[in-house]
Amino acid sequence: MRFKMRFSLSGLIVLAIVGITLAAPLISPYDPYAIDGAEPFLGPSLTHLMGTDDLGRDLFSRILYGGRITILIALAATIIALIIGTLWGMIAGVQRGWVDEILMRTADATMAIPQILFALVCVSAVGSSVFSLPIIAGLLLSPTTARMARTAVVVELASDYVVAAKATGLKKSRLIMTEVLPNIAPQLLVQLSINAAAAVMMEASLSFIGLGIQPPDASWGTLMLQGYGNLWNTSWFVFFPALVVTITILAFNSYGERIRVSLDSRKSSK
């Protein structure tokens, strides 16, 4: 049972977005923080691809740098959610019984709290920074990951090859590391991609209401907030960060969807 990584447009876009934003310092034409006397609210032109903001800063450079923060937060949150969620779900799926019951009811309860609300609670308690946001987002995304991991583990543990491996006397912990984990990896990849999309959305939303990344740092969310605040001055400003955020979330979602579809078709053809 091998999973083949196929070429896909959405995967390519995901790679491109991550690559470009991480390489922001190499690519960006201007210093995103420098107020170097350029006119404020310039429209898009050849010198300023996306125009300038209220302080005359180059929007294109700010989107690149802001993207770096957004994407880094999203990736960190995704990894945190993956680790916590997978452990959470695997323990539930392996132990079953009352441990399972408690862990999964806990997941249900956390999922009953609207995400933004929970984020507000956490942000108000610990404040928001590049360090706290990934942890908060990661924690918020882990229950869904846990649920998925639990289902995957339960299904895997019931499958023939695991039963066979058990019969040969393989230890449970070893079995999980060598057999189960590699087999649920594709499903985890799906969750990874969907979580990344959700994390970008969460950062954007929190920063948009001013409770995420704080100025002078920029993220896609704060750029949208800036654009919203300047809607009456320059209505095009908000367009660029909004577009970039949408494309990014769409790419992550579609990539996850694509893997899921190819997993499903593999399952049904088996």
Instruction: Name the site residues for another protein (rule: CB under 8 A).
Output: 105-106, 108-118, 120-127, 197, 201, 204-205, 208-211, 224, 227-228, 231-232, 235, 238, 242, 245-246, 249-250, 253-254, 257
Closest CA to 51 of 235, 177, 243, 247: 235
- How far apart CA 187 and CA 194 sit, in angstroms, is 11
Q: Report the SS3 class of residue 52.
A: strand
Q: Measured from the CB atom, is 184 or 241 closer to another protein?
A: 241
Q: Measured from the CB atom, is 24 or 204 closer to another protein?
A: 204
Q: Measured from the CB atom, is 107 or 175 closer to another protein?
A: 107
Q: How far is the CB of 121 from another protein (least distance, A)?
A: 6
- Whether 32 and 65 have beta carbons less than 8 Å apart is answered as yes
Closest CA to 220 of 10, 9, 11, 24: 24
Q: How far is the CB of 217 from another protein (least distance, A)?
A: 18
Q: Measured from the CB atom, is 46 or 125 closer to another protein?
A: 125
Residue 43 DSSP label: P
Q: How far is the CB of 257 from another protein (least distance, A)?
A: 8
Neighbour count for residue 20 (Cβ, 10 Å) = 16
Q: Report the SS3 class of residue 100.
A: helix
Kindly state the greatest CA–CA separation across the chain. 74
Q: Measured from the CB atom, is 124 or 178 closer to another protein?
A: 124
Q: How far is the CB of 223 from another protein (least distance, A)?
A: 12
Q: Measured from the CB atom, is 76 or 201 closer to another protein?
A: 201
Q: How far is the CB of 258 from another protein (least distance, A)?
A: 11
Q: How far is the CB of 36 from another protein (least distance, A)?
A: 28
Neighbour count for residue 9 (Cβ, 10 Å) = 11
- Whether 236 and 44 have beta carbons less than 8 Å apart is answered as yes
